[in-house]
Structure 1
Amino acid sequence: MFLCCCLALLALIPSSFSISPGVKVKLTEKGLEYGRQLGMASIQQKLKTIKVPDISGTENVSPIGKVHYSLSDMKILDVGLPQSEVDLVPGTGVRLAIGNAFISMNGNWRVKYLRFVKDHGSFDLNVKGLTITTSIAIKSDETGRPTVSSINCAATVSSASIKFHGGASWLYNLFKNFVDKGLRNALQKQMCPLVADAVSDLNPRLKTLNVLAKVDQYAEIEYSMVSSPTVSTSSLDLSLKGEFYNIGQHQEPPFSPSAFSLPPQVNDMLSIGMSTFTANSAAFVYYKAGVLSLYITDDMIPKSSPIRLNTRTFGAFIPQIAKCFPGLMMKLLVKTVKNPVITFEPNNATVQATATVTTYAIQPNATLSPLFVLNLDTSVSAQLFVSGMRLAGAVTLNKMDLTLGTSYVGEFQVRSLDNILQMVLKLVVIPKLNAKLAKGYPLPTLGKMKLVNTQLQVLKDYMLIGTDVQFTG
């Protein structure tokens, strides 16, 4: 259906009402035009299923009197929809108009007159000037997914040209006008129900909307609507919750979405705006799940690195370590101690994280002897990109600041460890993080939806994805 794109181009109608959204979606006139192209094929196939019932009647035809006629075995041969348009009606919804459509069909005819005279043959019918207009109502079901229906439908047939074959041509031309009228009425009655069926056929597809999309074993993201769609003359704007949750435990974060607006002029079918609230809700979920930590051992350091995780390397900077724990391997625990904070500025996405680095010497019996604890404040830049139907990313280290938290080996200069810790972050921690980010997070999607010609830019407080859309089935 033409609305297959309009709605399939994203998640739609409200299932819950809340505060500002974390994600916004703008369906443009270009998107509607793509939907119209998809939908006309669907409606055309529906109209080809018209079942015209047998028509019979009696008319007084001068000069022979009453003529009993019947038309039967009528079949649709072709349906043409050369003109159609889809319009956004501000504050209301979507209007579909089909004009100058035509239907061609054939069938058999029979007549009886003067009590005993019978005749029969076949006929061809061409219906022209068919117009259909309907509005599309959009509502939500109990799961927060959209449902659609056709309302205020009207259909008219301006002309029907019938051509009879076989029998006495002088006879059937006498009652052709009566037959034309009966056929036009029979066709008009079926137009709107078939269009309504074509619209309703979209609903099973809308059931595929990922209102709650699983990310991994820890997190899922909710894309239910938080308010009704806003319809203007140029776009359909949708507001999605766009919030990450721990699986099975929907705990709200200690911050709320801030209002943001998508740019009005776009050349794409679809715009998706994802706010810093959505990104920070993801950070909150993973922090609460306790998974933002990593044990690091020497076998995780590339063999080509001259710096090893052992007491000899660290002893060069902190002599007490080499003296008290000679010849031992070491283990580090990097653990975030606050919820990371993500900010979006024009062309710049930044993550600020506060962590601790706890160092251990590994004794011959595998027990861990704590050496010292460092406080680590880091800033990383994020490159964001769309991969398939997922939002992915990669980070690079901007800067880090080290301070001494606790020492079990006496006082030492923390700055002397800057190079070692930077190496550990760049060679181990950040690659591990990037491997996770490369898997991406699901965008709102519907059925077999594909994003093409996608562009992503980071703006103030949100990122903007501009894209065209294709449906593959």
Structure 2
Amino acid sequence: MCLSFSVQAFSFTCTSKLLPCSQLKMRLQFWLLLVALTTLTSAINPGVKVKLTQKGLEYGRQIGIASIQQKLQTIKLPDVSGSQKINPLGKVSYSFTNMHIINVALPQSAVSLEPGAGVKLSIGGAFMGLKGNWKVKYLRFIKDSGSFDLNVSGLSITATIAIKSDETGRPTVNGDNCAASVGSASIKFHGGASWLYNLFKNFIDKALRNALEKKICPLVTDAIADVNPYLKTLNVLAKVDKYAEIQYSMVSSPVISATSVDLNLKGEFYNVGKHQEPPFTPAVFSLPSQNDNMLYIGLSSYTAHSAGFVYTTAGALSLYVTDDMIPASSPIRLNTQTFGAFVPQIAKSFPGLMMKLLVTAVKSPEPTFESNNATVRATGTVTAYAIQANGTLSPLFVLNMDGSVSAQLFVSGTRLAGSVSLNKMDLTLGTSYVGDFQVKSLDTIFQMVLKVIIIPKLNAELATGYPLPTIGKMKLVNTQLQLMKDYMLIGTDVQFSG
């Protein structure tokens, strides 16, 4: 969407004595710009809503904790050296080198929602084990060395995961307010004189705990940031076929409530390579407060309506029907003999010729979603031609067609698919080149054309479906679809692989 706004086009006569006219004009221009931008922002309603529940966050926690554990196992503590005055030995110099993690356990963790802030991650009761080497020197010439084990327990970590929208309309996360503390540490030395290192054991414990605490939060923050490459795979512009693509970019920042993370997506079909807005806008709708599934996706009737607009604009809702498309067993044939039985003028003026029908949508199909019911109203024309011996098409008549179909919708993999069945069809005469006739007499023929040719071809296309908003190698499981007032609701759990 492009907005062009020029405050220079505003003009007025200034007679103010309270402020200089230049300042008054500047303030007025700023106010007008603010009003315009506010109006634009408030007018963007989403076509698709996505809700991530506490159950979904719990699944994410399981994946995230595994990632954090792997990160913590990479900790490399810097070498520690210094000196300590110890009576009666005097100054004792020491160094701790080659310190590395050998195991990490994060048995307790939880995620909770903080409205307006993000997702709070809490880790408690964690512990880790380290190994390293030590050396000491005292009385100027006495040296000793060995190895040590450090066991850290009571480790706690807290961090807030902020969720925002990036410049492409995809969600992005980052870690804020991270804090880490080590409850206790026990160090066990191997080799050398035990009486010596026991003298400064407590001092070394504290130095190593401090070094460890400084290493933890940057790694936790990195683990959180590692989610962003996966979020980058959100199909914000998903290709459907050669005619259409659907945009799933976010139209506003994520909303964090006490029970869910809510995303508002564009949810609009476009012609491939041409983003033309339809002559209608999304209606406001709200998802119910369900939380049995990890994820809920609400797709409004606006999304389906925009699809109809795209395919109508592209000329894709147009089909020539010829006799070879009709089953051989059918007594009804597309020729002037069959039609002449209902409209004698056709057989008289064009005897013994085959015919062709052109079925075309003249306006965008209009879907209506009600509780447990989806219908689509379609308006089109049927143009009948006689095929001359030289291939020339001679127009016979044009009928206006107004009909409706019932839609059955289902989720197949990560795509929304469906099928339709005919409810009713009304025909009226638009133009006749063979004189007036009773259109009602042709109902049987066109009912057959719709049921045997048009609708099966449409259902073959609908069966392939169109992509739902997904991330990476995301699989939908335990999926259910409900039709609600003005939107459809998909409740699902998810699994990630790879």
Normalising by the smaller structure, the TM-score range is over 0.9
Residues 101-147 of structure 1: per-residue CA shift (max 9 Å, x gap): 11101111111111111111111110111111111222333222232
Q: Which of 270, 273, 277 is the equivalent residue of 1:248?
A: 273
- AA aligned opposite 2:55: K
Q: CA deviation at 1:247?
A: 2.0
Q: Which of 340, 343, 348 is the equivalent residue of 1:318?
A: 343
- 2:325 is aligned to 300
Aligned partners of 1:156, 1:235: CA distance in 2, in Å?
29
Aligned partners of 1:72, 1:319: CA distance in 2, in Å?
103
Q: CA deviation at 1:324?
A: 2.0
Q: Which of 383, 395, 404 is the equivalent residue of 2:420?
A: 395
Q: CA deviation at 1:312?
A: 1.6
Aligned partners of 2:51, 2:232: CA distance in 1, in Å?
20
Q: Which of 406, 409, 412 is the equivalent residue of 1:381?
A: 406
- Match status 1:184 vs 2:186: no
- 1:259 is aligned to 284
Aligned partners of 1:148, 1:202: CA distance in 2, in Å?
7
SS in 2 for 1:173: helix
- 1:424 is aligned to 449
- 2:440 is aligned to 415
- AA aligned opposite 1:198: A
Q: CA deviation at 1:63?
A: 2.6
- 2:313 is aligned to 288
Q: CA deviation at 1:407?
A: 1.6
- 2:195 is aligned to 170
> Which aligned segments of 4 or more residues in structure 1 are displaced greater than 3 angstroms?
none
Q: Which of 342, 346, 370 is the equivalent residue of 2:367?
A: 342
Q: CA deviation at 1:461?
A: 0.3
Aligned partners of 2:308, 2:264: CA distance in 1, in Å?
22
Aligned partners of 1:235, 1:34: CA distance in 2, in Å?
14
Distance 1:371 1:328, change over 3 A: same
Q: CA deviation at 1:426?
A: 0.6
Q: Which of 128, 133, 142 is the equivalent residue of 2:167?
A: 142
SS in 2 for 1:255: coil
SS in 1 for 2:168: coil
Write the mapping of 1:17-166 to structure 2, written as runs, cut at 5 A.
18-166=43-191
Contact 1:243–1:278, Cα closer than 8 Å, also in 2 = yes
Residues 410-432 of structure 1: per-residue CA shift (max 9 Å, x gap): 22221111111011001110011
The structure showing larger relative contact order (alpha-carbon pairs under 8 Å, at least 6 residues apart) is 1
How many residues in Structure 1 have an aligned counterpart in Structure 2?
A: 458
Contact 2:154–2:182, Cα closer than 8 Å, also in 1 = yes
Q: CA deviation at 1:17?
A: 7.2
Aligned partners of 1:265, 1:322: CA distance in 2, in Å?
63
Contact 2:382–2:398, Cα closer than 8 Å, also in 1 = yes
Aligned partners of 1:50, 1:264: CA distance in 2, in Å?
42
Aligned partners of 1:141, 1:343: CA distance in 2, in Å?
33
| Percent identity (aligned) | 74
- Match status 1:365 vs 2:399: no
Residues 61-117 of structure 1: per-residue CA shift (max 9 Å, x gap): 233222111111112110100011111101111111111111101111111111111
Aligned partners of 2:117, 2:72: CA distance in 1, in Å?
27
Distance 1:46 1:18, change over 3 A: farther
- 1:353 is aligned to 378
Q: CA deviation at 1:28?
A: 0.3
Contact 2:99–2:133, Cα closer than 8 Å, also in 1 = yes
Aligned partners of 1:416, 1:118: CA distance in 2, in Å?
112
- AA aligned opposite 2:358: L
Aligned partners of 2:402, 2:170: CA distance in 1, in Å?
42
SS in 1 for 2:449: helix
User: Mean alpha-carbon deviation: is it higher for 184-193 or for 385-394?
Assistant: 385-394
Gaps of 5+ in 2: 1-40
Aligned partners of 2:421, 2:496: CA distance in 1, in Å?
35
Aligned partners of 2:155, 2:179: CA distance in 1, in Å?
11
Aligned partners of 2:356, 2:140: CA distance in 1, in Å?
108
Aligned partners of 2:341, 2:178: CA distance in 1, in Å?
83
Aligned partners of 1:18, 1:448: CA distance in 2, in Å?
34
What RMSD over aligned residues (CA atoms) do the two structures have, in Å? 1.3
Aligned partners of 1:215, 1:185: CA distance in 2, in Å?
55
Q: CA deviation at 1:248?
A: 2.3
Aligned partners of 1:190, 1:86: CA distance in 2, in Å?
22
- Match status 1:219 vs 2:241: no
SS in 1 for 2:229: helix
- 2:474 is aligned to 449
Write the mapping of 1:260-279 to structure 2, written as runs, cut at 5 A.
260-279=285-304
Aligned partners of 2:299, 2:270: CA distance in 1, in Å?
16
Aligned partners of 2:152, 2:82: CA distance in 1, in Å?
21
User: Mean alpha-carbon deviation: is it higher for 405-414 or for 90-99?
Assistant: 405-414
Residues 341-367 of structure 1: per-residue CA shift (max 9 Å, x gap): 110011111110111111111111111
Gaps of 5+ in 1: 1-15
- AA aligned opposite 2:160: S
| TM-score of the pair, normalised by structure 2 | 0.90
| TM-score of the pair, normalised by structure 1 | 0.95
